[in-house]
């Protein structure tokens, strides 16, 4: 798969993208996970993009945010919630993977007529 660009929190303006998408590594019921590289520091991470063309997708994402923020103790198999960012085109969430080797970024994408997923 060819490399693609994705703006993250604070991205979308001029200059280099916040993340560069390298390849799709997983697909679920309401989103796609990509291997990516941070434009800021070159770190390898995962980017999870969620389709928000249906209210139930937004509800699922908000339930995931709530569940991750309500954890009192970390488990090695559960991502750690780090930040949630409201963007021009949706809501963003940054998490660390439980194995501490990668970071995840969850981005709720705009409706399909505004910016289709690659």
- Binding site as annotated, residues for ATP: 48
Q: Could you tell me the end-to-end alpha-carbon distance of the chain, in angstroms, rounded to an integer?
A: 10
Annotated binding site: 48
State the Cα–Cα distance between residues 78 and 95, nearest whole angstrom.
10
């Amino acid at each position: 798969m060819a490399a693609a660009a994705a703006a993250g929190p604070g991205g979308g303006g001029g200059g280099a993208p916040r993340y560069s998408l390298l390849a799709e590594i997983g697909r679920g019921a309401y989103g796609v996970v990509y291997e990516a590289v941070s434009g800021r520091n070159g770190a390898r991470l995962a980017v999870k993009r969620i389709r928000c063309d249906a209210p139930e997708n937004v509800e699922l994402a908000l339930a995931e945010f709530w569940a991750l923020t309500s954890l009192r103790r970390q488990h090695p198999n559960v991502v750690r919630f780090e930040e949630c960012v409201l963007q021009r085109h949706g809501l963003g969430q940054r998490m660390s993977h439980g194995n501490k080797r990668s970071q995840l970024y969850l981005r709720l994408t705009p409706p399909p007529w505004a910016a289709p997923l690659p």
